[in-house]
Amino acid sequence: MDQAGIIRDLLVWLESHLDQPLSLDNVAAKAGYSKWHLQRMFKEVTSHAIGAYIRARRLSKAAVALRLTSRPILDIALQYRFDSQQTFTRAFKKQFNQTPAYYRRASEWNAYGLRPPIRLDNSTLPQAQFVTLPETVLVGQTQSYTCTLEQISRYRDEMRIHFWQQFLLETDTVPPVLYGLHQVRPSQEKDDEQEILYTTAVPSDQLAQTMQSTQTVLLEGGDYVQFTYQGPRSQLQDFILMLYGTCMPTLQLTRRHGQDIERFYTHGGKKRPEPPTEIRCEYLIPIRRTDS
């Protein structure tokens, strides 16, 4: 295997072991090289020092946990292998230019400091489109669930399908456009979990008359960055994680307060017995536009 292939596989392994001991000796043993040779090869392929990269990725994962859970800062620091809250705070402030406590409390989420995972598969990032939406009245249902950050990828697809099936229970047809309004906040019950508020909705003129158990829902107006996904339903959550983990920091965007919007385009006809395996979705993230 060529050097790029070796480092590509190593990057994938590192990403799933950031909360495990990753000394140079451990990583070199995994790769099957001396640590000196591995350091040199990693730098040649990625232009980054392996130790600095691991620390930057750990701090980036910790930043996400700070924003999406109410876990104690010390717990997050220890999970990502910092030996004390003081050590973590110093490293965090160096990368993000603010303390972990301030980062958690900030009303908006600036992508500054987040280190995207290095990708060596030559894949192109989804194209960003900047749009301004008017405030729009929809009709729908809001439900909630809680899960840990580690569970979100599996839970989100399951709960989305469950909510859609409940929402469309009283109708025989599927509207051509379906909205999912998605908002996350730290759980009030468990500090290592987040609460997801998910609203299934449709424009009022698409609503079947037989659907009774609905409420008026406001789609918030404002500036958004929009990405389009088309492919297997099961991979939508990986796409969303890439938007937040790679696209937002690469574009240096600030996420303002508000809901993420999923806008699905369906076959718009008779309900089918099974949910679709292939979907087309526009995913919109509320952002703070800055004057250039």
Instruction: Give me the amino acid identity at 43.
Output: K
The two structure tokens encoding residue 183 = 């908002």
CATH, range 129-286 = 3.20.80.10
pLDDT for res 292: 43
Domain 3-106 - what CATH class?
A: mainly alpha
Q: How far apart are CA 182 and CA 240, in angstroms?
A: 12
Domain ranges, ordered by start, for the chain: 3-106, 129-286
Ramachandran category for residue 81: left, alpha or beta (phi over 0 → left; psi -120 to 50 → alpha): left
pLDDT for res 291: 55
pLDDT for res 213: 64
288-292 CB contacts, 8 Å cutoff, 24+ apart: 288/108, 288/223, 288/254, 288/255, 288/256, 289/130, 289/223, 290/254
pLDDT averaged over the chain?
89
pLDDT for res 165: 85
For 65, the 3-state DSSP assignment is: helix
pLDDT for res 238: 86
